[in-house]
Amino acid sequence: MNPTPSPKASTLSPNGPQSSDLERLSSDDSAEIIDEKKLHEFLGKLETIMLATRGAPPNVHARPMRIVKVDSQDGIWLVTRLTSPKIAEIERQPNVSIISNEAGRYLSLQGTAEVRKDQQKVEELWNEKWKVWFPNGKADPEISFIVIRPTFAEYWDMSGANFLGYLWRATKAYAQGETPEPSKEGHGVFSKDRH
């Protein structure tokens, strides 16, 4: 059984994450303030995310997508069809959200998305499994990428040793009739404003 992340961490300013939110999250919830490199390392452990785009107000559309690549220059790469409704939504409103809950790793991320047609990247990243969606292979004119540059992210890594550490603290607290002490272990907050 995986623990549920603290609800305090979700209480951000109504206008989106601000620098004061980052300070509050790192002190109130014992989150480590992380840099882009550490965020990319965490993202590299994920396979599937939920990408949320803004449709016609007030609708938000979310769908599962597989991460194709994470790199320090551009950020998160996803592949999609050029005629997919999400492309029009991103072109209209490029601010997107990503949520993930995978194998004890939890992520909430906000970023700016861009749609790219890039044949060189198709050649570099092509996966034969994509033929299900792109029957013409690498030459399929529908292949396009969504590239997301993170602006704010928070994660909880409750996998492996981090989970065992939490389990130890929780068991000890339970035996003493207390709540577990917060730990920076496995809890990180990233803000583009800070880097």
CATH number of the domain that 172 lies in? 2.30.110.10
Q: What percentage of the chain carries pLDDT values higher than 70? A: 78
Structural domain includes residue 42: yes
Range of the domain at 140: 19-194
Please give the tally of structural domains in the chain.
1
Tell me what the mean pLDDT of segment 47-72 comes to: 93
Structural domain includes residue 127: yes
pLDDT category of residue 10 using cuts at 50, 70 and 90: very low
Q: Which pLDDT score is estimated for 29?
A: 57
Residue 84 has a CB neighbour count (10 Å cut-off) of: 16
Structural domain includes residue 66: yes
Write out the two tokens for 59: 């609708």
Backbone angles phi, psi at 68, to 5 degrees: -90, -40
Say if residue 184's pLDDT is above 60.
Answer: yes
- Mind listing the pLDDT tens digit for each residue in 103-162? 889 999 999 999 999 999 999 999 999 999 999 999 999 999 999 999 999 998 877 666
